[in-house]
Structure 1
């Protein structure tokens, strides 16, 4: 039996255990685990982490039925192994005997007491012996949709005609989408570059810069990536720059800007701005913005600051503000399946209050006849149209620009996009103009 395979499962269990304990996110933990994993085993590591988290509510429901009592918080790594083993038995191509034996051996590698090895083995084999368990659980929406109950309820109540589609798409793999730098190359010309490399793809339906790959590839295989001809960015996120209606010599603020995809698109869309400022509360995330801008060869002032307060502002009004507000990220669960574990129902009210607070603060920095674009990657109205309607009700000088488009659904305020198969993620946009 391969020691590398065992190390992969140990690495995955540690990543998953940290997420189960809400210590960190997958995007933070997985890159570190990847560097400690042999290159040929990294795809398996990613599959185990993403797959287990994608079906986590379903797997936890099964584990509850098979465990005599819940495991203690200090044994979340054992819990993670059980969930990972169930994932492999239910949703992967790993042969059942290999999934069980290698997961059990990983329990040994965790250097737990012998009970851990025995427990993991017993739970996985009991699941094999109880095919009727799946039939019993099939009636439970947590099992059938693999989402926490609170999120199913919120999405179902908000979107009675669309909720099942949203939940199903959240469990699918998201496509790899490129944003073509139109200041450097046209979309048809870059398409020819991809064809020459044998990379099948199609144009995005809604953003003039979007190309969607039929299958993901390493960025190093993409022609012109290191020269900034393209960036990786979902098609829904590519709509932001166009909504800003950028003009030469404008002062532009990109608030909550990390990792900088929209900042780069702003600079590519209007190369003659008077000033561009990208703001983020995290200095580490600002480094990501700087790296992305260096790759595409464009410049922007970067500042570590909190968009909810104003001590960083020099008093000069902005002509355009993009507020990509902190949110539940319920529209991008397929890219970040750990949201199912990390997010709680109580978070939504706190987030909507924060969103309104940031919006109020940034509005004071927008000049007369300026435009603010409010964006989230959420599908929950509490974070979207409810925030905008509350803001508009208290600001007579704020006028919503009603976007007429062939994407999304028009709401009482703004437009809502749902995640679509082989297309864009879930997103929300509202455009507000400031009248003098």
Structure 2
């Protein structure tokens, strides 16, 4: 199988059909038996999606007129070719010849692909100069995201956009029930894996280079998990105490659920809910690996009357459905799949779930509102509206050395300490 052609087919599912990159890879990669082939195709797919707006601009200049919709696979193949020439250590002649070879199913495209890629090699400098004059191509994001970040974070906009286009580092969360961070760093060093402690989170380690989880000492035994340091902060912020009942709403894939249980082993219990049964299964799998227990429930967080009964909780984590604009590094297809009108719908969902969660919080209890977004509309403005509507809610200030203190809550902008973009606000219910 031609690997460039395989990558083009996967990318057509994302760029043409609107499928998530994760889902498209899960369907396409198993066809490849060799692990190196799978890694190469995955690198091509992530690279094209990550640099799509810059690549698409160059392709538009080279083609002159767009290809027909039925030839989406040829467009993605051309993007694969351009990505190799711009960003990979593939010899140009090999990149061109192998990409051209992937047109065997459409012989008419052979000359087109060959011509476009060779023209790029001749005109690369002028194309890069032209891209610098086009804001969407230069910043490599859809215009609506560029505008939204300019509106919310004018002083940080380009830094956030640049961070979005970098591959995220690999962070680990040490299971303090089993070992200490210092001991685990020694175990990593003994395996020749270099890592650094993260100063703002006492469970977090940042690896100098990503490795397969199978290489991590004690992974299968539950000593460690993969989780961005920004997400790890939730367990510390919720500050669950012995004897508390905790509710983790929208809990999949379960990283924060597990972190809460690892940090406080003497809970009365933890209930983890998610509306998606398949995603909830991932929560259960993660808990099993870590030898942790929680009640898991397929449930709609916005309609607690259907599932909660009389139970009330001393701590609630609401990791609200959001745009995901803080995790574009890990999911670059967000740039392609998310739409500006999604934000309004997400705001309505967030507000509904936040008010629903509040019904389940015991007097004196703490609700931690979190998103992996950097948009104020989903974060501080959402919390401001909630506080204005509730007389029994007060904000608890988050005193920390990470993120930006906002009128409500605290915002981590993508790239700070190499972390994902994340938002937290802590709310207490009046007694």
RMSD: 1.3
Deviates more, 1:401-410 or 1:92-101: 92-101
Q: Report the alpha carbon displacement of residue 286 of structure 1 after superposing the two structures with TM.
A: 1.0
Partner of 2:252: 258
Does the 8 A contact of 2:403 with 2:416 survive in 1? no
Does 2:115 align with 1:118? no
Q: TM-score, normalization: structure 1?
A: 0.95
Corresponding residue to 2:195 among 191, 197, 201: 201
State how far apart, in whole Å, the 1-side matches of 2:333 and 2:210 are: 21
Structure 2: distance between partners of 1:246 and 1:22: 43
Q: Which residue of 1 aligns with 2:296?
A: 302
| 1:155–1:380 Cα contact (<8 Å) kept | yes
For residues 421 and 391 of structure 1, what CA distance do their matches in structure 2 show?
Answer: 28
Work out the CA distance in 2 between the residues paired with 1:404 and 1:193. 32
Alignment pair present for 1:429 and 2:424: yes
The one of 273, 282, 291 equivalent to 1:288 is 282
Change (3 A) 1:73 1:161: same
List gaps (5 residues or longer) in structure 2: none
* Residues 76 and 125 of structure 1, relative CA distance in 2, 3 Å threshold: same
Structure 1 position 289, deviation (Å): 0.8
Query: Residues 291-370 of structure 1: matches in 2 within 5 Å?
Result: 291-310=285-304, 311-370=306-365
Check whether the contact 1:174–1:422 (CA below 8 A) recurs between aligned residues.
no
Report whether the alignment pairs 1:167 with 2:161: yes
Please tell me whether residue 12 in structure 1 is matched to residue 40 in structure 2: no
Selected match of 2:228 from 220, 228, 234: 234
Q: What's the offset of the Cα at 1:262?
A: 0.4
Matches of 1:269 and 1:74 in 2, distance apart? 53
From 206, 223, 240, the counterpart of 1:246: 240
Write the distance in 2 (CA, Å) between the matches of 1:313 and 1:267. 21
Query: What are the ranges of 5 or more consecutive residues in structure 1 without an aligned counterpart?
Result: none
Deviates more, 1:130-139 or 1:44-53: 130-139
- Report the 3-state secondary structure (helix = DSSP H, G, I; strand = E; otherwise coil) of the residue aligned with 1:107: coil
Per-residue CA deviations over 1:319-351 (Å, capped at 9, x if unaligned) read 111111111111111111111111111111111
Once residues 125 and 305 of structure 1 are traced to their aligned partners in structure 2, the CA distance between those partners, rounded to angstroms, is 54
Q: Across the two proteins, how many residue pairs are aligned to each other?
A: 428
Residues 1:133 and 2:127 aligned together: yes
